[in-house]
Copies of this chain bind each other. A is one copy, B any other.
Amino acid sequence: MTKLEKGPTGQRRGRGARERILSASQQLFREQGINNTGMDQLCAVAQVSKRTAYQHFTSKDELVTEYLRRHDPDTMPEIFDSAELTPRERLLAAFEKPPSVPPAETTPLCPFIAAAVEINDTDHPARRRAHDYKASVAARFTETARQAGAVEPEQLGEQLALLLDGASVRTRALDTDALPTAAAIAAVLIDNALPAEAPG
Protein backbone atom coordinates (compact mmCIF):
# COMPACT_ATOMS: atom_id res chain seq x y z
CA MET A 1 0.00 0.00 0.00
CA THR A 2 1.11 3.52 -0.62
CA LYS A 3 1.06 5.99 2.21
CA LEU A 4 -2.38 7.47 2.33
CA GLU A 5 -1.56 10.17 4.84
CA LYS A 6 -5.15 10.59 5.83
CA GLY A 7 -4.29 13.49 8.07
CA PRO A 8 -6.44 14.58 11.01
CA THR A 9 -9.81 13.42 9.67
CA GLY A 10 -10.87 16.51 7.73
CA GLN A 11 -7.81 17.16 5.63
CA ARG A 12 -7.30 20.85 5.53
CA ARG A 13 -8.39 22.08 2.18
CA GLY A 14 -6.23 24.34 0.14
CA ARG A 15 -3.05 23.28 -1.62
CA GLY A 16 -2.49 19.67 -2.45
CA ALA A 17 -5.76 19.09 -4.22
CA ARG A 18 -4.39 16.44 -6.55
CA GLU A 19 -3.45 14.16 -3.69
CA ARG A 20 -6.80 14.58 -2.04
CA ILE A 21 -8.57 13.75 -5.28
CA LEU A 22 -6.57 10.57 -5.72
CA SER A 23 -7.12 9.59 -2.10
CA ALA A 24 -10.85 10.04 -2.49
CA SER A 25 -10.70 7.98 -5.68
CA GLN A 26 -9.01 5.12 -3.87
CA GLN A 27 -11.63 5.16 -1.18
CA LEU A 28 -14.74 5.61 -3.29
CA PHE A 29 -13.87 3.54 -6.34
CA ARG A 30 -12.94 0.71 -4.03
CA GLU A 31 -15.98 0.99 -1.82
CA GLN A 32 -18.69 1.57 -4.38
CA GLY A 33 -17.17 0.91 -7.76
CA ILE A 34 -16.19 3.23 -10.56
CA ASN A 35 -19.50 3.61 -12.34
CA ASN A 36 -21.37 4.11 -9.11
CA THR A 37 -19.19 7.00 -8.06
CA GLY A 38 -20.04 10.39 -9.50
CA MET A 39 -17.69 13.30 -9.81
CA ASP A 40 -19.89 15.35 -7.51
CA GLN A 41 -19.53 12.92 -4.67
CA LEU A 42 -15.87 12.41 -5.37
CA CYS A 43 -15.15 16.13 -5.20
CA ALA A 44 -17.17 16.45 -2.02
CA VAL A 45 -15.18 13.71 -0.31
CA ALA A 46 -11.89 15.11 -1.59
CA GLN A 47 -12.98 18.56 -0.41
CA VAL A 48 -12.10 19.95 -3.76
CA SER A 49 -14.10 22.09 -6.11
CA LYS A 50 -15.11 20.51 -9.36
CA ARG A 51 -13.22 23.14 -11.23
CA THR A 52 -10.02 22.11 -9.53
CA ALA A 53 -10.64 18.44 -10.20
CA TYR A 54 -10.97 19.09 -13.90
CA GLN A 55 -7.84 21.20 -13.90
CA HIS A 56 -5.87 18.22 -12.64
CA PHE A 57 -7.62 15.54 -14.67
CA THR A 58 -9.16 16.36 -17.98
CA SER A 59 -11.83 13.72 -17.60
CA LYS A 60 -13.12 11.07 -15.28
CA ASP A 61 -11.62 8.45 -17.55
CA GLU A 62 -8.22 9.96 -17.05
CA LEU A 63 -8.75 10.06 -13.29
CA VAL A 64 -9.72 6.40 -13.29
CA THR A 65 -6.64 5.54 -15.28
CA GLU A 66 -4.39 7.51 -12.97
CA TYR A 67 -6.07 5.93 -9.97
CA LEU A 68 -5.15 2.50 -11.27
CA ARG A 69 -1.69 3.59 -12.27
CA ARG A 70 -0.88 4.96 -8.87
CA HIS A 71 -2.31 1.98 -7.11
CA ASP A 72 0.45 -0.52 -6.64
CA PRO A 73 2.92 0.99 -9.07
CA ASP A 74 5.10 -2.03 -8.58
CA THR A 75 3.39 -5.38 -8.26
CA MET A 76 3.01 -6.47 -4.65
CA PRO A 77 6.57 -5.47 -3.73
CA GLU A 78 6.23 -6.22 -0.03
CA ILE A 79 5.88 -9.86 -0.90
CA PHE A 80 8.00 -10.45 -3.94
CA ASP A 81 10.87 -8.23 -2.86
CA SER A 82 11.12 -9.63 0.63
CA ALA A 83 14.70 -10.78 1.07
CA GLU A 84 13.99 -12.57 4.32
CA LEU A 85 11.88 -15.26 2.75
CA THR A 86 12.90 -18.13 0.57
CA PRO A 87 11.29 -18.21 -2.89
CA ARG A 88 8.98 -20.95 -1.75
CA GLU A 89 7.92 -18.96 1.28
CA ARG A 90 7.33 -15.94 -0.91
CA LEU A 91 4.97 -17.91 -3.11
CA LEU A 92 3.00 -18.95 -0.08
CA ALA A 93 3.07 -15.52 1.54
CA ALA A 94 1.08 -14.09 -1.34
CA PHE A 95 -1.92 -15.99 -0.03
CA GLU A 96 -1.76 -14.68 3.48
CA LYS A 97 -4.12 -11.91 4.41
CA PRO A 98 -2.37 -8.61 5.00
CA PRO A 99 -3.04 -7.30 8.52
CA SER A 100 -4.68 -4.15 7.17
CA VAL A 101 -8.11 -3.26 8.48
CA PRO A 102 -9.99 -5.26 11.11
CA PRO A 103 -10.16 -8.99 10.39
CA ALA A 104 -13.94 -8.99 10.55
CA GLU A 105 -14.39 -7.17 7.27
CA THR A 106 -13.98 -8.99 4.00
CA THR A 107 -11.20 -7.78 1.74
CA PRO A 108 -12.55 -5.51 -0.98
CA LEU A 109 -12.48 -6.67 -4.57
CA CYS A 110 -9.22 -6.20 -6.42
CA PRO A 111 -9.50 -2.79 -8.14
CA PHE A 112 -8.11 -4.14 -11.38
CA ILE A 113 -10.75 -6.83 -11.56
CA ALA A 114 -13.37 -4.21 -10.83
CA ALA A 115 -12.06 -2.05 -13.66
CA ALA A 116 -11.91 -4.97 -16.06
CA VAL A 117 -15.55 -5.77 -15.35
CA GLU A 118 -16.98 -2.28 -15.08
CA ILE A 119 -15.32 -0.85 -18.16
CA ASN A 120 -16.47 -2.34 -21.40
CA ASP A 121 -14.07 -0.90 -23.91
CA THR A 122 -11.02 -3.14 -24.23
CA ASP A 123 -8.98 -0.21 -25.51
CA HIS A 124 -9.67 1.96 -22.49
CA PRO A 125 -6.35 2.82 -20.82
CA ALA A 126 -7.67 1.64 -17.48
CA ARG A 127 -8.51 -1.75 -18.91
CA ARG A 128 -5.14 -1.98 -20.52
CA ARG A 129 -3.60 -1.18 -17.17
CA ALA A 130 -5.67 -3.93 -15.58
CA HIS A 131 -4.50 -6.33 -18.24
CA ASP A 132 -0.88 -5.40 -17.67
CA TYR A 133 -1.18 -5.64 -13.92
CA LYS A 134 -2.72 -9.09 -14.06
CA ALA A 135 -0.03 -10.25 -16.45
CA SER A 136 2.56 -8.71 -14.16
CA VAL A 137 1.35 -10.64 -11.12
CA ALA A 138 1.60 -13.88 -13.05
CA ALA A 139 5.06 -12.92 -14.25
CA ARG A 140 6.18 -12.22 -10.69
CA PHE A 141 4.87 -15.58 -9.59
CA THR A 142 6.61 -17.25 -12.50
CA GLU A 143 9.88 -15.56 -11.72
CA THR A 144 9.71 -16.60 -8.08
CA ALA A 145 8.65 -20.11 -9.03
CA ARG A 146 11.70 -20.35 -11.23
CA GLN A 147 13.90 -19.23 -8.34
CA ALA A 148 12.30 -21.90 -6.22
CA GLY A 149 13.19 -24.48 -8.82
CA ALA A 150 9.71 -25.31 -10.03
CA VAL A 151 9.57 -27.77 -12.87
CA GLU A 152 7.28 -25.62 -15.00
CA PRO A 153 7.50 -22.13 -13.54
CA GLU A 154 5.33 -20.46 -16.16
CA GLN A 155 2.51 -22.84 -15.62
CA LEU A 156 2.76 -22.52 -11.84
CA GLY A 157 2.89 -18.74 -12.06
CA GLU A 158 -0.25 -18.57 -14.14
CA GLN A 159 -1.98 -21.01 -11.83
CA LEU A 160 -1.17 -19.10 -8.66
CA ALA A 161 -2.32 -15.84 -10.23
CA LEU A 162 -5.60 -17.48 -11.15
CA LEU A 163 -6.05 -18.57 -7.55
CA LEU A 164 -5.67 -15.04 -6.26
CA ASP A 165 -8.24 -13.74 -8.71
CA GLY A 166 -10.63 -16.54 -7.93
CA ALA A 167 -10.36 -15.77 -4.24
CA SER A 168 -10.98 -12.08 -4.80
CA VAL A 169 -14.10 -12.44 -6.88
CA ARG A 170 -15.47 -15.21 -4.73
CA THR A 171 -14.97 -13.15 -1.62
CA ARG A 172 -17.03 -10.47 -3.29
CA ALA A 173 -19.78 -12.77 -4.49
CA LEU A 174 -20.18 -14.77 -1.30
CA ASP A 175 -19.20 -12.06 1.19
CA THR A 176 -16.90 -14.58 2.82
CA ASP A 177 -13.14 -14.62 2.81
CA ALA A 178 -12.08 -17.13 0.16
CA LEU A 179 -8.37 -16.56 0.49
CA PRO A 180 -7.78 -19.59 2.75
CA THR A 181 -9.31 -21.81 0.10
CA ALA A 182 -6.93 -20.40 -2.48
CA ALA A 183 -4.03 -20.79 -0.04
CA ALA A 184 -4.79 -24.47 0.42
CA ILE A 185 -4.76 -25.02 -3.32
CA ALA A 186 -1.56 -23.03 -3.66
CA ALA A 187 0.15 -25.22 -1.09
CA VAL A 188 -0.76 -28.32 -3.05
CA LEU A 189 0.39 -26.88 -6.36
CA ILE A 190 3.66 -25.64 -4.95
CA ASP A 191 4.38 -28.96 -3.29
CA ASN A 192 3.65 -30.72 -6.53
CA ALA A 193 5.79 -28.45 -8.66
CA LEU A 194 8.86 -28.16 -6.45
CA PRO A 195 11.42 -30.93 -6.19
CA ALA A 196 10.76 -32.69 -2.92
CA GLU A 197 12.56 -31.45 0.16
CA ALA A 198 14.41 -28.69 -1.58
CA PRO A 199 15.33 -26.07 1.01
CA GLY A 200 13.48 -23.38 -0.91
Contact = CB atoms under 8 A, between A and B. Distances in A.
Interface stretch (A2-10, A30-38, A62-70, A141-149): A30-38
Given A120-B33, A131-B173, A162 B161 contact: no
A134 B173 contact: yes
Interface of A: 32-33, 35-36, 109, 112-114, 116-118, 120, 122, 130-131, 134-135, 155, 158-159, 161-170, 172-175, 178, 181-182, 184-185, 188-189, 192
Contacts of A114: 117
A192 B172 CA distance: 28
5 A-B pairs with least C-beta separation: A166-B166, A162-B166, A116-B173, A117-B117, A134-B173
A155 B184 contact: yes
In this complex, which of A36, A122, A169, A174 has the most chain B Cβ atoms within 10 angstroms of its Cβ? A169
A175 B32 contact: no
Q: Assembly of this chain: how many copies?
A: 2
Nearest to A133: B173
A113 B117 contact: yes
B175 A165 contact: no
Given A162-B181, A168-B169, 10 more contacts: A32-B120, A33-B118, A117-B117, A117-B118, A155-B184, A159-B184, A162-B178, A165-B173, A169-B169, A185-B189
A162 B173 contact: no
